């Protein structure tokens, strides 16, 4: 994920679009101002993401101070995993003999490690 281009990161995230937990949304509108796709509208006094317009950039997750925006990791796990593998392959395919791999898994997060707050929950 880290070696993908900005466009590539968006593509990988596009299958796990965020959703808004209306019980935590204060309708401060901050996410609406930052959304580059105008994908967030008002619904019953709360913010609501129009999935057809959302490009999965994650700006709304980063900007919400009330922890109301969450990734819907159950949307299509298969696409995300395959897309990450495809981008990882793209990052090393022209570097034969120049890469090595190691895995260290500690303090695993419930969600994506982009979200600092999820580290404190586990
Ligand atoms: S930033 Fe968070 S609290 Fe504010 S409107 Fe968006 S989802 Fe609701
Ligand atoms: S992920 Fe990006 S495009 Fe989708 S609603 Fe959030 S800010 Fe808008």
Alpha carbons 8 and 18: distance in angstroms, whole number: 17
* 115 in any annotated domain: no
* 78 in any annotated domain: yes
Q: Which of 42, 64, 67 to mutate to test the pocket of ligand 1 (most atoms within 8 A of CB)?
A: 64
Overall domain count for the chain: 1
* 106 in any annotated domain: no
Percent of the chain scored above 70 by pLDDT? 84
* 70 in any annotated domain: yes
Alpha carbons 66 and 64: distance in angstroms, whole number: 6
* 29 in any annotated domain: yes
pLDDT of residue 118: 45
Which residue range forms the structural domain that includes residue 14? 6-95
The two structure tokens encoding residue 114? 């982009």
User: How far apart, in Å, do the first and last CA atoms of the chain sit?
Assistant: 22
**Inter-residue contact 73 to 44 (CB < 8 Å):** no
| Domain CATH for 75 | 3.30.70.20
pLDDT of residue 93: 94
* 36 in any annotated domain: yes
CB atoms within 10 A of CB 96: 7
The larger pLDDT score, comparing residue 76 to residue 9, is at 9
Q: Pocket around ligand 2: residues whose beta carbon is below 6 Å from it?
A: 18, 35-37, 39-40, 49, 54-60
Does 88 score more than 80 pLDDT? Answer: yes
Q: Which of 11, 15, 54 to mutate to test the pocket of ligand 2 (most atoms within 8 A of CB)?
A: 54
Of the bound ligands, which one is closest to the alpha carbon of residue 23? 1
Q: What is the pLDDT of residues 13-60, one digit of tens each?
A: 777 789 999 999 999 999 999 999 999 999 999 999 998 898 877 889
Q: State the burial class of residue 18 (Cβ atoms within 10 Å of its Cβ: 0-12, 13-18, 19+).
A: buried
């Amino acid at each position: 994920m880290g070696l993908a281009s900005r466009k590539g990161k968006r593509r990988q995230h596009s299958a796990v679009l965020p959703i808004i937990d209306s019980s935590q949304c204060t309708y401060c509108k901050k996410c609406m101002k930052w959304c580059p796709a105008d994908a967030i509208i008002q619904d019953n006094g709360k913010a609501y993401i129009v999935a057809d317009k959302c490009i999965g950039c994650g700006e709304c997750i980063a900007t919400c101070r009330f922890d109301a925006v969450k990734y819907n990791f159950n949307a299509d796990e298969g696409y995300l995993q395959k897309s990450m593998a495809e981008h990882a392959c793209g990052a090393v395919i022209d570097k034969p003999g120049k890469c090595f791999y190691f895995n260290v898994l500690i303090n695993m997060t419930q969600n994506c490690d982009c979200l600092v707050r999820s580290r404190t929950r586990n």
